[in-house]
Amino acid sequence: QGSQKRSNSTPETPRPKRAPSSHSPYRLFSPGSFSPSVTPSQKYSSRGDRGEVVASFGAVQEPAWRGRGGCAVKLFGCAEENLTKPYKFMFQKALDVREALSGRVEELGEVLRRHHGLDDFTSVTFPAQEPVTVLGQIGCDGNGKLNAKSVLLLGDREHSAGCQVPLDLSELPEYSLFPGQVVALRGTNSTGSRMVVSKLYEV
């Protein structure tokens, strides 16, 4: 057979792209092959049944509450701890959220210390050959799932200034942890960069 003349491709007359072969694995496992009859989703502004109840549980809806006699509401506790004006939920400032979380860690740490009779807490990055007790929150060193190799302890602000240290849990017979959990740990941290945990104190 004679050689075929190759067509020239220019921006005005581009060369047509070759269609994928029916035997190509990309065609077999393409999204269109799994769902060939997918209809495009409607735009958000053109959706129907906006604000209407589509499912409910129980026969009573919007019950009318009526009280008997007069009553007065009294706020207990400090005025700074009570809500005196409306606020937007989840619109708090990052600094306010950090202050609230730090205060909660300190409160739970005091509960742990009194309940288990612990000594004063030490910084998580303090090099110590002897066992020390530290306080903090359980964290993960990445975006993956929490496992025995990715556990961190985020130290409290009062004793550890928010520093973190990886944990070695190989000496614990059993444990059950989740990110954000407030715990007190006892162990050794000879280099200041990794703590070998020997005891776990939970709330």
Q: Which structure tokens are listed for 8?
A: 């020239």
Domain 83-202, classified CATH 2.40.50.140, yes or no: yes
pTM (2 decimals)?
0.55
Q: Which amino acid is present at 130?
A: E
Count the alpha carbons within 13 Å of 147 in the hemisphere toward its beta carbon.
Answer: 5
In the numeric block, the tokens 């109840």 are attached to 53
- Give the span between the Cα atoms of 10 and 123, in whole angstroms: 69
pLDDT one-digit tens code per residue, 112-146: 999 999 988 999 988 888 999 999 999 998 776 88
The whole-number pLDDT of residue 2 equals: 52
Residue-by-residue DSSP string for 25-84? HHHHTSHHHH-TTPPPPPPGGG-SSTT------SS--SPPP---S-------S-GGGS--
- Taking residue 126's Cβ as centre, other Cβ atoms within 10 Å add up to 16
- Give the span between the Cα atoms of 153 and 134, in whole angstroms: 9
On whether the CB atoms of residues 146 and 91 are closer than 8 A, the answer is no
- Give the span between the Cα atoms of 203 and 200, in whole angstroms: 10
pLDDT one-digit tens code per residue, 172-198: 999 889 988 999 999 998 888 899 999
